[in-house]
Amino acid sequence: MRIVAAKDYNDMSRKAANIVAGQIFLKPNSVIGLATGSTPLMMYKELIRMSAEDGLDFSEATTFNLDEYIGLSTDNINSYHYYMYNNLFNHVNIKKENIFIPNGMTSDIEKECMDYEEKIRQRGGIDLQVLGIGNNGHIGFNEPDVKFEATTHQVKLDQETILANARFFDNIDDVPKYAISMGIKTIMHARKIVLLASGLNKAESLGRALYGGITPEVPASILQLHQDVTVVIDGECASFLKRMGDDTIE
């Protein structure tokens, strides 16, 4: 695992965008796993800039998003469909047929989850998965649990996650209680992973994930077992992890 310290949020976003862009430059038909939330927002802006100014070409790339709320339509501003089109897809030359996000409006969740896994398999698996991390150590919407959930599945969101994500909604009661998320095995099968974290809250959950025991209570801790993870963090996170004794941070 490489931990790369950036100066600040903007620098973290640029470094992460370079990793995604590098992947697409090297393998134009890459399959990229994407995350939502506030952390990768600036990374997406930078990718849009690179596509406009540096010739970054998404035309052969495929994307699979980590998760989606159950019950929000694609035009709901809080759906991850809306987020992704608004913050990336509408501004780059990716083909619509190469964009995959779980369908949170499906009437058959079990089938949707199985089909999502099958689509990832058919596209040859994920080359590079982008991740954020929740305050409770979740990745995608894999919440702390007594076991690691393997494949794409329905999740009941933790109260902590509902509270954390309430900032995007008018009313906390509007935050969906359920989501569809890639599983831990789906994520761990990605050939490369890049995890972004910024700010002190994230530093604490990252510290637990990187240096604590590997446990489903801290879902991101499983990443300790992955062969090719790059963690890109801002200065605040880096100082925190250094205080925890990590002298390997680049």
Selection from 141, 148, 142, 139 nearest residue 214 by Cα: 148
Q: Which residues between 149 and 188 bind ligand GLP (CB under 6 A)?
A: 161, 165
How many chain residues touch ligand GLP (CB under 6 A)? 14
Selection from 238, 148, 242 nearest residue 196 by Cα: 238
Selection from 20, 4, 21, 22 nearest residue 12 by Cα: 4
- Contact range with ligand GLP by CB under 6 A, out of 49-57, 95-103, 129-137, 228-236: 129-137
174 is catalytic: no
- Contact range with ligand GLP by CB under 6 A, out of 33-41, 108-116, 143-151, 222-230: 33-41
- DSSP letter for 222, please: G
Report the nearest approach of ligand GLP to the CB of residue 136 (Å). 9
Catalytic site residue from 98, 136, 142, 165: 136
- Residues in contact with ligand GLP, shown as a per-residue x/- string from 61 to 80 under the rule CB under 6 A: -----xx-------------
Q: Which residues between 207 and 226 bind ligand GLP (CB under 6 A)?
A: none
Selection from 16, 29, 83 nearest residue 58 by Cα: 29
Amino acid letter at 34? L
Report the nearest approach of ligand GLP to the CB of residue 122 (Å). 23
Selection from 22, 28, 65 nearest residue 46 by Cα: 22
Measured from the CB atom, the residue of 57 and 74 that comes closer to ligand GLP is: 74
Measured from the CB atom, the residue of 104 and 132 that comes closer to ligand GLP is: 132
Catalytic site residue from 46, 65, 67, 117: 67
CB count in 10 Å sphere of residue 214: 14
103 is catalytic: no
d(C-alpha 13, C-alpha 88), whole Å: 14
Per the DSSP assignment, residues forming a β-bridge with 142 are: 139
Report the nearest approach of ligand GLP to the CB of residue 165 (Å). 5
110 is catalytic: no
d(C-alpha 110, C-alpha 120), whole Å: 16
Measured from the CB atom, the residue of 23 and 39 that comes closer to ligand GLP is: 39
Selection from 146, 148, 144, 145 nearest residue 136 by Cα: 144
Amino acid letter at 173? D
- Per CB under 6 A, the list member of 33, 102, 104, 134 interacting with ligand GLP is 134
Residues with catalytic roles: 67, 136, 138, 143
Q: Which residues bind ligand GLP (CB under 6 A)?
A: 35-39, 66-67, 132-134, 140-141, 161, 165
